[in-house]
Structure 1
Amino acid sequence: MTEKPLPSPDTAAYSATEDLPEVPETQHDARLWRDDGWTARVIKNQDDDGWAVEMIKDGEAEPALVGPWTMGRDKKNPKPLDTGAFNTLVKTASEVLRRHEQQLHAMLHKRVTVDSPSGDGELAVTLDIVPSEDDPYALLTAFDALGEQLAQVKVAPNFKLGKANATAWVEDGFRRPN
């Protein structure tokens, strides 16, 4: 039986209705494990004679984690992947992604509390940066003690939110800062 070669996606002969080879959902090989939305691949370490493992979350182009991998008993080939190692790698890579998300959130969302000018409690002032290649900006928002929004203005994405700036904005009647 001969198989006809599949056309390249960049040729005119390609049709979206043609069957493309599917990547298996689950694969458990010595150097490649694919399961639970993750792929672990043992690769040659570019920096030395050893091996590395990369963890890639399904749908992502870049690995979430790349780290050294243990040599096998022959001291030439890598130790094969197994269930325990894969589960540990998934846990570690997930933690790395979670920390990246937390760091990004902390960079884009700031919050301070200031005294209300009327003296009846505190106000929460937030700065939410909206990154954009074309028109980045930030939203400066004030909330009362019950969480009701009192004011919101658009400011430059490099606006520095601190107690002094927040207090000045509140005392200025929530007018857009310069």
Structure 2
Amino acid sequence: MTSNATNEAVEADLPAVVNEPRLWSNNGWTARVIKNEDDEGWAVAMTKDGESEPALVGPWTMGRDKKSPKPLDASAFQTLVKTASEVLRRHEHQLQALLHKKLSLTTALGPLSVTLDIVPDEEDPYAVLGARDDAGELLAEVRVGPEFKLTAASARAWVEDDFRQPD
């Protein structure tokens, strides 16, 4: 494949840049100004390329005629991309916090870090309960149900039971 043919193939795979008054698409995001179903105003929906649902939907400013929406522009689009990206980042952090729990214990074995990592498999969800020493060495790891609650009391009971499978 020649250099030109390679460049053309790569460009064909890239989404087109769209800069229309009610539709902007660039850098992996699409902003679409839509009629607000809740009132007589307008909203803007920000959708990441490849996703079916918008990451962010928010109110949009009316134009000068007080009936039609203000057209999208480069500055507004960049602000919307930044805001929608932050929403996705917060969502990912929240999901990570729900799926990964960690606490520290002082035990007869010394300081331990006990973790619970939930694997949200659609057919067989489970969690992995693990214990590491101060140096980060894995001392024990067992598979538990996804409903297992990691608390200081449950972690201490597991450690004191020689890391046997919790009930």
Scaled by the length of structure 2, the TM-score of the pair is: 0.90
Q: State the 1:25 CA deviation.
A: 2.2
Which residue type is aligned with residue 138 of structure 2? Q
How far 1:24 sits from its partner (Å)? 4.5
> Is this contact kept in 2: 1:117–1:170, CA < 8 A?
no
Paired AA for residue 160 in structure 2: E
Query: Which of 117, 122, 128 is the equivalent residue of 2:117?
Result: 128
What amino acid is aligned across from residue 30 of structure 2 in structure 1? T
The one-character-per-residue Cα deviations of 1:150-171 (angstroms, maximum 9, x if unpaired) are: 1100001010101111011011
Of the candidates 108, 133, 143, which is equivalent to residue 117 of structure 1? Answer: 108
Do residues 32 (structure 1) and 23 (structure 2) align? yes
Contact 1:51 1:71 in 2 (8 A): yes
CA distance in 1, matches of 2:144, 2:23: 48
Structure 2 residue aligned with 1:165: 154
Report the secondary structure of 1:139's partner residue. Answer: strand
Within 5 Å, give how 1:41-56 maps onto structure 2.
41-56=32-47
Please tell me whether residue 77 in structure 1 is matched to residue 68 in structure 2: yes
Aligned 1:85-100 pairs, distance under 5 A: 85-100=76-91
CA 107–24 in structure 1, closer or farther in 2 if over 3 Å, else same: closer
| Amino acid across the alignment from 2:86 | E
Change (3 A) 1:166 1:24: closer
Poorly superposed stretches of 4+, deviation over 4 Å:
21-24
- Are residues 117 and 88 of structure 1, via their aligned partners in 2, closer, same or farther at CA, if it must alter by over 3 Å? same
TM-score by length of 1: 0.85
How many residues are treated as equivalent by the alignment? 156
Deviations 1:121-157 (A, max 9, x none): 3100000000122111000000010111111000010
Structure 2 alignment gaps of length 5 or more: 1-11
Alpha-carbon distance between aligned partners in 2 of 1:146 and 1:157, rounded to the nearest angstrom: 27
Determine if contact 1:125/1:140 at 8 Å carries over to the other structure: yes
Using the aligned pairs only, state the percent identity.
66
Gaps of at least 5 residues in structure 1 are 1-20
Q: For residues 48-76 of structure 1, what are the alpha-carbon distances to aligned partners after superposition, in whole Å with 9 as ceiling and x for unaligned? A: 11100000000101000000000000011
